[in-house]
């Protein structure tokens, strides 16, 4: 039986959702269709995944043929750094809504705390190849996101890739709840201190790259640890007759964390949802927690020189 987590706004967020990053436009149409047929009721999208239009086409088919009602499916989208200037926030939200063929988003996240030069390029760079930052405070971006809630365009709003210090700053001014902080999280990067901080402030954590992002676009060295092949994860899986992927997804369910594994493969989309018929023992959770090595796969190194780069000043690690 699938479960949901209550956000500070009162909305229920299904605990397992489908990730859509790196699903090509063609793949994502099929992936969302399969996911809905299998029982997923939560899709994680973002404008920079460049496939929201195809997600929207599939959603429209499923809504129109009565497979789902709008209120039964939870759709997240994200505002990218090049749209963080206050005057661009609403435009970006409307663009995602149009592509997704929706009247409202269940959740709209600020994708990163670091603003980038507005324009067509997702990662604007100068002649030297350095990223071009924009001098926008994420607090000013947030204030416009709050207006989107007032206007009914988003039910809940939140952030992604924020550290504890940045959350504290935002909490001190936020009029609407920061419902979610979506961050990389898995047994190699358990983020326990950030998880505790968020829980105590009624911010739900969503875990991205829960399987260790094996399809990552960046360099994958032979020496890089591979979560899905970790002997501890594999052995635990065998003892429950479950796959390593299912163990890694269930790990978040036990911790009260939302989790959004990505797959474009129908079988694996199904496999990743077969996680509600077993429970990891405390002993197995301890074994998984002992794997924590503060190993971040997506380090956003291209933002390292940005004054709002989230990871160097991370108080939580």
* Binding string, residues 68-107; x marks residues near ligand NAP by CB under 6 A: ----------------------------------------
Tell me if residue 82 falls in helix, strand or coil: helix
- Strands, E assignment, 33-119: 42-44, 74-79, 105-110
- Counting contacts by CB under 6 A, is residue 179 touching ligand NAP? no
43 part of the interface to ligand NAP, by CB under 6 A: no
| Contact status: 314 vs ligand NAP (CB under 6 A) | no
Among 201, 298, 316, 317, binds ligand NAP (CB under 6 A): 298
Q: Is 265 in the site for ligand NAP (CB under 6 A)?
A: yes
Q: Residue 207 CB, nearest distance to ligand NAP (Å)?
A: 8
Q: What's the closest the beta carbon of residue 40 comes to ligand NAP, in angstroms?
A: 12
Q: Is 114 in the site for ligand NAP (CB under 6 A)?
A: no
34 touches ligand NAP by CB under 6 A: no
Angle, alpha carbons 185-316-197 (nearest 5°):
85
**Counting contacts by CB under 6 A, is residue 113 touching ligand NAP?**
no
Distance of CA 93 to the CA centre of its chain: 17
Tell me if residue 49 is catalytic: yes
Q: Encode burial over 57-77: b for 16+ CB neighbours within 10 A, e otherwise.
A: bbbeebbeeeeeeeeebbbbb
Check binding of 15 to ligand NAP (CB under 6 A).
Answer: no
Can you tell me the distance from the alpha carbon of 309 to that of 28, in angstroms, rounded to the nearest whole number? Answer: 30
Q: Which of 168, 161, 179 is nearest to 81 (CA)?
A: 161
> Which residue's CB is nearer to ligand NAP, number 136 or number 189?
189
Give residues in contact with ligand NAP (CB under 6 A). 19-22, 44, 111, 160-161, 182, 208-215, 228, 243, 245, 260-265, 268, 271-272, 298
């Amino acid at each position: 039986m699938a479960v949901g987590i209550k956000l500070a706004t009162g909305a229920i967020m299904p605990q397992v959702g489908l990730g859509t990053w790196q699903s090509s436009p063609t793949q994502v149409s099929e992936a969302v269709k399969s996911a809905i047929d299998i029982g997923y009721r939560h899709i994680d999208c973002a404008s920079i995944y460049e496939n929201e239009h195809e997600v929207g086409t599939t959603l429209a088919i499923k809504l129109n043929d009565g497979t789902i009602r709008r209120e039964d499916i939870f759709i997240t989208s994200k505002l990218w750094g090049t749209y963080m200037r206050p005057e661009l926030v609403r435009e970006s939200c409307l663009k995602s809504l149009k592509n997704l063929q929706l009247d409202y988003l269940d959740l709209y996240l600020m994708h990163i705390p670091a603003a980038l030069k507005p324009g067509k390029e997702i990662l604007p760079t100068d002649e030297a190849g350095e990223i071009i930052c924009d001098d926008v405070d994420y607090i000013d971006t947030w204030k416009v996101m709050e207006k989107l809630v007032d206007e009914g365009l988003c039910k809940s709003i939140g952030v992604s890739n924020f550290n504890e210090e940045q959350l504290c700053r935002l909490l001190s001014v936020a009029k609407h709840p920061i419902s979610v902080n979506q961050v990389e999280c898995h047994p190699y990067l358990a983020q326990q201190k950030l998880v505790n901080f968020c829980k105590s402030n009624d911010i739900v954590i969503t875990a991205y790259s829960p399987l260790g992002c094996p399809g990552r676009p960046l360099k994958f060295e032979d020496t890089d640890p591979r979560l899905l092949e970790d002997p501890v994860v594999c052995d635990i899986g065998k003892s429950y007759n479950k796959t390593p992927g299912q163990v890694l997804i269930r790990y978040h369910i036990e911790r009260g964390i939302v989790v959004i594994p990505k797959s474009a493969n129908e079988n694996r989309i199904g496999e990743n949802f077969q996680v509600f018929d077993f429970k990891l023992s405390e002993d197995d959770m301890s074994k998984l927690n002992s794997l924590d090595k503060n190993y971040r796969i997506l380090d956003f190194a291209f933002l390292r020189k940005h004054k709002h780069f989230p990871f160097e000043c991370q108080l939580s690690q």
